[in-house]
Amino acid sequence: MADAPREAFAEAVRAGLSARPRTLPGTWLWDEAGSVLFDRICDSPDYHPTGRETALLPAVAAEVAGLVGPGASVVEYGSGASRKVRTLLDALDRPARYLALDISRDYLEASVARLAPDYPAVAMTPVCADYGGPVRLPVRLDDGPVLGFFPGTSIGNFAPEAAQGLLARIRDTLGPSRLLVGVDPTRDEARLRRSYGGPLMAAFHRNILVRMRRELGAALDPEGFAHAVRIEPDPFRVEAHLVARGAQAIRLDGDAFPFADGESVRTDTSHKYPPDAFRALAERAGWLPERVWLDPEGLFSLHLLRTE
**82 and 115 assigned to the same domain:** yes
As a whole-number percent, the residues of the chain with pLDDT over 70 amount to 99
Query: Domain residues for 141?
Result: 48-186+273-306
Asked if the model's pLDDT at residue 4 lies above 80, the reply is no
Q: What is the pLDDT of residue 308?
A: 84
Which uninterrupted H or E stretch holds 288?
Answer: strand 288-294
Same domain, 266 and 256: yes
295 falls within a domain: yes
**How far is residue 19's CA from residue 13's CA, in Å, rounded to a whole number?**
10
Q: How many CB atoms lie within 10 A of CB 50?
A: 23
Residue 194 lies in a domain: no
For residue 93, what is the domain's CATH number? 3.40.50.150
For residue 97, what are the CA distances in angstroms to 75, 93, 125, 156, 305?
8, 12, 8, 27, 20
182 and 210 in a single domain? The answer is no
In a domain, 153, yes or no: yes
Please check whether residues 280 and 231 belong to one and the same domain: no
> Are residues 138 and 76 located together in one domain of the fold?
yes
The residue among 121, 41, 120, 115 whose CA lies nearest residue 85 is: 115
Residue 172: closest CA among 153, 151, 148, 152: 148
* DSSP conformation letters of 183-239: E-----HHHHHHHH-SHHHHHHHHHHHHHHHHHH--B--GGGEEEEEEEEETTEEEE
Radius of gyration of the chain (CA): 19
Tell me the average pLDDT of the chain: 95
Q: From CA 169, how far away is CA 80, in angstroms rounded?
A: 20
- The pLDDT, as a whole number, for residue 2 is 40
> In this structure, are 93 and 208 located in the same domain?
no
Nearest to 44 by CA among 179, 206, 161, 199: 199
Distance CA 16, CA 80 (A): 25
Same domain, 231 and 299: no
**Nearest to residue 95, comparing CAs of 76, 113, 68, 115?**
68
Give the C-alpha separation, 76 to 126, whole Å.
10
Q: Which neighbouring-strand residues pair with 230?
A: 239
Minimal CA–CA distance to 162: which of 49, 281, 79?
281
Does residue 223 sit in the same domain as residue 245? yes
Lowest-pLDDT choice from 127-136, 196-205, 268-277: 127-136
Q: Determine contact, residues 279/293, Cβ cutoff 8 Å.
A: no
One domain, residues 216 and 179: no
Count up the domains in the chain and report the number. 2
In a domain, 221, yes or no: yes
Same domain, 179 and 89: yes
Residue 193: inside a domain, yes or no?
A: no
Do 139 and 127 reside in the same domain of the chain?
Answer: yes
- In which band, very low, low, confident or very high, does the pLDDT at 3 lie, cut at 50, 70 and 90? very low
Q: How far apart are CA 229 and CA 16, in angstroms?
A: 19
Of the candidates 222, 297, 189, 292, the residue with the CA atom closest to the CA atom of residue 34: 222
Specify whether the CB–CB gap between 300 and 61 falls below 8 A: no
**CB under 8 Å to 245, separation ≥6 — which residues?**
223, 224, 225, 226, 261
* Euclidean distance between the first and the last CA atom of the chain, given in angstroms as a whole number: 41
Q: pLDDT tens-digit profile of 215-272? A: 999 999 999 999 999 999 999 999 999 999 999 999 999 999 999 999 999 999 999 9
Global pTM reads: 0.93
Report yes or no on 13 lying in a domain: yes
Characterize 84-106 residue by residue with b for buried, 16 or more Cβ atoms within 10 angstroms of its Cβ, and e for exposed. bbebbbebbeebbbbbbbbbbbe
Q: Answer yes or no: is 59 within a domain.
A: yes
> Do 18 and 72 sit in the same domain of this protein?
no
At residue 81, the pLDDT reads 82
What does the alpha-carbon distance between residue 201 and residue 194 come to, in Å, rounded to a whole number? 10
The 10s digit of each residue's pLDDT in 141-189 is: 989 999 999 999 999 999 999 999 999 999 999 999 999 999 999 999 9
- Residue 37 belongs to a domain: no
Q: Please name the residues in contact with 264: beta carbons below 8 A apart, sequence gap of 6 or more.
A: 22, 228, 241, 242, 243, 244
What average pLDDT does the segment 70-91 reach? 94
For 198-217, write each residue's pLDDT tens digit: 999 999 999 999 999 999 99
124 three-class SS: strand
